[in-house]
Amino acid sequence: MHLIVLLCFFLNLLDPAEVLNPKRKRFFQKNVEATTPAFANETAGTRCSPAPKLRFQPVFEGPTNDRQKAVVRAFQHAWMGYKKYAWGHDELKPVSKSYENPFELGLTIVDSLDTAVIMGLKTETREAIDWIRDSLDVSPDRSVNLFETTIRVLGGLLSGYHLTGEAILLKKAKILGDNLLFAFTKSKSPIPKSDVNLQSGSAFSPNQGLSSLSEATTLQLEFRDLAILTGNSTYENVAFGASEHIHKIGCKQTGGLCPYFIDDNGNLKSTDITLGARADSYYEYLLKQWLQTKKSIDWLRDDFLESVNSIREILYRSSASSSLKFIGEVQTSGEFYPKMDHLVCFFAGTLVLSHQNGLDTKQGDHLEMAKQLGHVCHKMYENPTGLGPEIAHFNMETSSEEDIYSLDSHSLLRPEAIEAWFYLYRATNDKKYQEWGWSAFEAIEKYAKVETGGYSSIDNVFKIKVKRRSIDTSAG
């Protein structure tokens, strides 16, 4: 299971009035003086975003209610299986009690560190930091996907550093960032190659030279943060260059909704228009980059708002029977296709974040749309197992009473719906979103838990007699 799911469960079970401990000190009760790593500011540039004031790390006191305690136990169960059968490797295969190692970066350890910290798990946090310090080699002779390595390993190291203040995390993040830069420098356009060898620096895009929209434009938060922390503007410049390139070539014919493939010359290729796989986080990062840069880059906001309006006009439809609001796709032929990936549930959370930052074009319209999408994502979970399918198809014909059909019935235990309900609960204080999250958690415990440790993907969410898949982590 992608452990961000457990983090969303855990946070969703907090009362909105509960806040972090106001004491500002390091997680392990070390010297409370904030320090700047020796290598910071070594290559300061003119375009590096201004660094925030140094602050001490918050203290996390762990679970405060029974449901949170259950989620923490689930994390520990997953951690136990990983330690026993896959320690130091990327991912546990809980059914076969083995592992996969496609990155050779201890992916689960790094990716789970911030969750362990926020849950107040000092033993697991120390185990993770010790392994990262002593064993993590961020320069293996291995070609890795730039996007996955950035969001999971670079992002994991940076978030771990922010939460614990452990300098080794930032040191290794810098080395990894330097290795990943070759994906940009080896490209003849501002769009990076999709894969890079972390030792040799060779870079390539294995899918006929094509990169995906989301992979090229979902690197900027992490690279900008690395630039801020080190003072080296190169990280921000190259990553933001990809965003600027997409902005300049534009997607005006479809109202800011972009095709999801980009060729070796940086040109968008004609594809379906979707908020699902290969496109999803492009729209998310428009908003989050605007927020990260202190709302100073107007075109990020404007491109985001244009895309929201076009999504509403072009992709946002209602099912025939119960008028469920969902986001479909437009095929290259121009025909609407009522297919919605589970991934698309992310957009509900993005709309809440937009609402909370005053971007509604009408009174509360982003929040209302988020509520409708949160509702339809919940309806996707209304099946025999209580788990959401990977892809749903919505009925547009009045001759049928059914609203939702499964196009791909397996579940990778993705986090998008849980995250959406977390955002919605925080924005509305409506406890139904907590209950929806809790029901999904109970379903995972019942159908996805592997007793010897870990959680497995499910082959068909519509069959009570579940068939488990070998790998336990989602790609989302």
Catalytically active residues, by annotation: 148, 280, 390, 416
What the block records as the tokens of 319 is: 């099912």
Q: How many CB atoms lie within 10 A of CB 137?
A: 14
* Distance (Å, whole) CA 469 – CA 358: 43
Return the CA Rg of the chain: 22
What the block records as the tokens of 180 is: 């990943």
For residue 387, how far is the Cα from the chain centroid? 19
* Distance (Å, whole) CA 340 – CA 391: 6
Q: Which residue's structure tokens are 């320690």?
A: 87
What the block records as the tokens of 152 is: 């999971």
Alpha helices in 278-414 (DSSP H): 280-292, 298-310, 346-356, 365-380
Buried-exposed string 303-312: b where 16+ CB fall within 10 A, e elsewhere = bbbbbbebbe
Secondary structure class of 143 (helix, strand, coil): strand
* Distance (Å, whole) CA 58 – CA 25: 6
* Distance (Å, whole) CA 218 – CA 211: 12
- Which residues, at least 6 apart from 181, have a Cβ–Cβ distance to it below 8 Å? 234, 235, 238
The distance between the two most distant Cα atoms of the chain, rounded to a whole number of Å, is 69
Alpha helices in 357-411 (DSSP H): 365-380
Secondary structure class of 125 (helix, strand, coil): helix
DSSP-derived secondary structure for 215-262: HHSSSHHHHHHHHHHH--HHHHHHHHHHHHHHHHH--GGGTTPPPSEE
Spatial strand order in the sheet of 203-204: 143-145, 195-197, 203-204
- 373: nearest Cα among 385, 355, 357: 355
CB 5 within 8 A of CB 458: no
Find the Cα–Cα–Cα–Cα dihedral 251, 302, 353, 177, rounded to 10°.
Answer: 70
* Distance (Å, whole) CA 380 – CA 410: 12
